[in-house]
Amino acid sequence: DQQVKQNSPSLSVQEGRISILNCDYTNSMFDYFLWYKKYPAEGPTFLISISSIKDKNEDGRFTVFLNKSAKHLSLHIVPSQPGDSAVYFCAASQQGAQKLVFGQGTRLTINP
């Protein structure tokens, strides 16, 4: 049972434009969501997170939006840069449960 889903395995965006990565979840008990960026043969790097009491969190070029009614979150990167090319994982957790549940990842490619 895939509780966190990233339905787009890949996304290609032109440099300077906005990248939008999507993530859906099924467990309504999740109350904390995170985005990680991962390069090949490296561990994931934490990017940004959002608590379920918010619907938006912004950090520089990265903004995460949460739509609790739709059980959907998205990561916006603007403007996109070549260094943003990586695999992006969304993850969710339930307060007190300790562990994170990861999506399958979306490979983002930024074209010059």
Q: Which residues bind another protein (CB under 8 A)?
A: 32, 34, 36, 41-46, 49, 89, 93, 95, 98-100, 102-105
> Computed over its alpha carbons, how large is the radius of gyration of the chain?
13
Q: What share of the chain is helix, strand, coil (3-state, %, to 5)?
A: 5, 55, 45
* Minimum CB distance to another protein, residue 24 (Å): 14
Which CB atom, from 51 or from 111, has the smaller least distance to another protein? 51
* Minimum CB distance to another protein, residue 79 (Å): 26
* Minimum CB distance to another protein, residue 87 (Å): 9
What are residue 51's DSSP bridge partners?
A: 32
Query: How many other CB atoms sit within 10 Å of the CB of residue 38?
Result: 15
